Amino acid sequence: MTFHVAVAGCTGYAGGEVLRLLLGHPEVTIGNLTAGSSAGSRLGEHQPHLVPLAEREVLPTTAENLAGHDVVFLALPHGTSGAVAAELGPEVLVVDCGADFRLADPEQWAKYYQSEHAGTWPYGLPELPGAREELATTRRIAVPGCYPTTATLALAPALIHGLVDGRDVVVAAASGSSGAGKGLKPHLLGAELFGSAQAYGVGGVHRHTPELLQNYARLGASEPTVSFTPLLVPMARGILAVVSAPAVPGVTADQVRQAYQDSYAEERFVHLLPEGVWPVSQNVVGSNAVHVNATFDPDAGRVVAIAALDNLCKGTAGGAIQSMNIALGLDEATGLSSIGVAP
């Protein structure tokens, strides 16, 4: 069976990456492509690398234009997916690449997004315990944020195996400029970005903070706390996250290594690197892979984990398609690769 797929928000980075991956997916055909202000133009004006789709007209994002598809991807600005999704029938698989349906707590949504909570959908991170079972029976999927995907998979084995309790987690994560979208912003100009690194969203105000806490609680942390500092660095794609947390008494480096081996031995997209080899963002560019490693720092008494992924692929579009595959009953790796691009 071939599934008919529409993409709303096709002219942005996330929408473009969804389309790039769908073009290599053997079980889908690409239907309507929609957007907001760029409706009426050709897709090639915005995504010239998507040659097979270059002459397609970008349609307005309306329920009528998204109707009649088996799957609809929403790559829309935060706070706008809810209204669109409400007009799509329950038989349609809707995959939201934005934040609208990620959080379970309406108060946390209101605090960080200053709007009405649209609801909560099954979370599109298959590597979390129980996630595949949820995704296999749903027609609504909330794709995780790119930072939470990285920092969650970095620390998950330590939490699952009880090596840390989730309090005083520290996350410092560097991301490329594509994470900010295509909007014209002065700090993303080449003259401002090249040769520089800068922190932003400092002091617990970044919108991915409650998502991290939610994920750590799902992994077994009873009262998680996190200090999350994102960094903008001069690269187009990628995230490198350094995550640490106080270890419970008696933890050893061998236990940490074994926990990560046990957790990720069967995962096709999460790769535990050899001891002493640390993730590099360039090595996962263009792939759905996550590179991870971890150790125990005995002087600080902390487990230290590092993960790298492509924020547009596994961090957004790749994770969305992986989750779509599960919901459609396909092999979850269909149309996805764990092989990066180098140099």
* Residue pair 230/206 in contact by the 8 Å Cβ criterion: yes
Q: Which of 223, 233, 144 minimizes the C-alpha distance to 187?
A: 233
Q: Residue 228 and residue 249: Cα distance in Å, rounded?
A: 24
Q: Residue 255 and residue 163: Cα distance in Å, rounded?
A: 8
| CB neighbours of residue 333 within 10 Å | 14
| CB neighbours of residue 168 within 10 Å | 14
Is the four-CA dihedral 134, 137, 138, 143 of positive or negative sign? positive
* Residue pair 290/264 in contact by the 8 Å Cβ criterion: no
* CA count, 13 A, side-chain hemisphere, 266: 5
* Residue pair 146/307 in contact by the 8 Å Cβ criterion: no
Cis preceding linkage at 343, omega within 30: yes
Residues 6+ apart with CB under 8 A from 262: 157, 161
Is the four-CA dihedral 39, 44, 50, 53 of positive or negative sign? positive
Is 10 assigned a catalytic role?
no
Q: Which of 43, 140, 26 minimizes the C-alpha distance to 82?
A: 140
Q: Residue 243 and residue 191: Cα distance in Å, rounded?
A: 30
Is the four-CA dihedral 44, 49, 53, 58 of positive or negative sign? negative
User: What six digits make up the tokens of 13?
Assistant: 């980075």
Catalytic residue IDs: 146
